[in-house]
Structure 1
Amino acid sequence: MVDIGSLIQAIVTPLVTQPEAVKVTAHETGDYMAFDLAVAPEDVGRVIGKQGRVAQAIRTIVYSVKSPYNKRVRLNILDASHAE
């Protein structure tokens, strides 16, 4: 099984200008295993991409991986100033 948090980190780190600000946290909700991706505020646009294409590509990869959880996986993209 793949550690989904590490997968997200490996995909996003090369895309951003401040890789030390990339943080992935996981929490469980009623229906989902949610992963919050926090990046520096100036890197949010790089992670989302034009018309959300980069974010959609990241989500496609993450959602297609066999999950060790019995729930669906959800990826939320935040800037570091709004992260917990």
Structure 2
Amino acid sequence: MKDLLVTIAKALVQNPDDVNVIEEDKDGEIVLTLSVNEQDMGKVIGRSGRIAKAIRSVMSAAAAKADVKVTVDIK
């Protein structure tokens, strides 16, 4: 899951070296915390949160296939 999120985020940003994902397991749920360069935050969130919502949708679909629950936090 973490690798998928890193790949998606790096494709969106201008500073791919600053992409960082922390994976935690909380009560059987995988929590992925994505952090990017401050200049790239708008690209990851998108207008009205559209890009962030799309990222979460892709991650949810991948999680459903793997039979796990995933939450994506963007900071």
TM-score, length-scaled by structure 2: 0.89
1:67 aligned partner: 66
Q: 1:36 aligns with which of 33, 52, 75?
A: 33
1:81 aligned partner: none
Partner Cα separation in structure 1 for residue 66 and residue 71 of structure 2:
11
Paired residues, number? 73
Question: Higher helix proportion, which one?
Answer: 2
- What residue ranges of structure 2 are gaps of 5+ in the alignment? none
| Alignment-mate amino acid for residue 4 of structure 2 | L
1:16 aligns with 2:35: no
Identity %: 32
1:25 aligns with 2:18: no
| Alignment-mate amino acid for residue 5 of structure 2 | I
- What residue ranges of structure 1 are gaps of 5+ in the alignment? 79-84
1:49 aligns with 2:49: no
TM-score, length-scaled by structure 1: 0.80
